Amino acid sequence: MREPLSSVPSMKSVVARAGRLVVKVGSSLVTNDGQGLDRGALQRWAHQIAVLRSLNKEVLLVSSGAIAEGMQRLGWKKRPHAVHELQAAAAVGQMGLVEAYESCFREHALHTAQVLLTHDDLSDRKRYLNALSTLRTLVRLGVVPIINENDTVVTDEIRFGDNDTLGALVANLVEADALVLLTDQAGLYTADPRKDPQATLVAEARAGDAQLEKMAGGAGSAIGRGGMLTKVLAAKRAARSGAHTVIASGREPDVLVRLAQGEAIGTQFIADNVPLAARKKWLADHLQVRGTLILDAGAVNALQYEGKSLLPIGVHDVSGQFERGEVVTCVDLSGKEIARGLVNYPVLDARKIMRHPSQEIGTILGYVDEPELIHRDNLVLL
């Protein structure tokens, strides 16, 4: 396991000190704003990643573009809304995307591998570990993984939602030192620069700062799904494993090489929290949870400040449909999420024992699995 980065000098790119990094390239950069695959751009990404490899940096590439390329091949001008049409576009576009990347990296004597992921691959513990083993092996073999969401089979209920989120999850999965989100914008501004001429670029910030989310409104382009807010949230997620994040313009010449040489470009988010242990990181990375436990003030205090397990007596209400061992979210009375964990009782039994002390579980249910609704070892604070 890599050592976490120590304190990073202000205003020097965190990429310079990263041994392993995940690079995410947005659809508008890969497809020339939806006009079809931009072979010149792909060649530039391949060249820059080859330079990073020569600097002994391990690189995993998360690339959008399959659906956009499929739309172009099928002659569609607007992104469809129907799931089956999106899946068809992804299936068509994936062919061209993979072939193009393979040919571009071959010019630098680098092998690539296509890795398609769904949320189910990361929400199931066994499949999560399998994905980790595969990616680690590819990197060890000197192969550049080209990672994308498996849009040909994914549904709205199990999708990551955007490749910014996927990039952060991959960074957490492989314990990357840095996540680089390349977009068609220069970085995060204090306000929308298209509407506010006083807006200024945020050069450096702490990942997870609530003020950043307020700055980052707005949606993505007509081609991609991710906007600036998804990137800010991705930086917050990546910080859970100690990964720093850079949001920079992919239009900047040799942006990856310059970042690797220490130049500060765009906005960088510093991860100053202690990296989560692998199991708790997996819990935190669940995008879909099966249910919600609403906690009273005493339970919230016990979890956040006393490091205790969640007992039934501290649960005010229960919602959702879940079985024993599934991931649920814990919120306070205002609805703010404070934790996630593996629940010890199915939803119907959880409703029966909520607001009751643990010693009454056997009397109420006729059996006792655990005295806690969620044990502290299976719970992560957010």
Q: For residue 161, what pLDDT is reported?
A: 56
pTM for the model: 0.78
The token pair that represents 142 in the structure block: 């000197």
Contact 289, 329 (CB under 8 A): yes
pLDDT tens, N- to C-terminus, the chain (382 residues): 344 333 344 568 899 999 999 999 988 888 876 677 888 999 999 999 999 999 999 999 999 888 888 888 888 888 888 888 888 888 898 888 999 999 999 999 999 999 998 877 877 777 888 888 899 999 999 999 999 887 666 555 435 557 898 999 999 889 899 999 999 889 999 887 778 888 899 999 999 888 888 887 744 444 444 488 889 999 998 998 889 999 999 999 999 999 999 999 999 999 977 777 777 777 787 767 889 999 999 999 999 999 899 999 999 999 999 988 888 999 999 999 999 988 999 999 999 999 999 999 999 999 998 899 998 888 888 8
CA atoms within 13 A on the CB side of 75: 0
Q: For residue 128, what pLDDT is reported?
A: 84
Q: For residue 103, what pLDDT is reported?
A: 95
The token pair that represents 131 in the structure block: 């994905």
CA atoms within 13 A on the CB side of 109: 3
Q: For residue 47, what pLDDT is reported?
A: 97
Give the chain's domains with CATH numbers: 14-276 (3.40.1160.10), 289-381 (2.30.130.10)
Q: For residue 81, what pLDDT is reported?
A: 81
Q: Which of 207, 183, 234, 177 is nearest to 52 (CA)?
A: 177
Rounded CA gap, 134 and 78, in Å? 35
Strands 327-331 and 337-342: antiparallel
- Which residues lie below 8 Å from residue 59, measured CB to CB, with a gap of 6+? 20, 21, 22, 23, 49, 52, 53, 144
Residue 191's SS3 state is coil
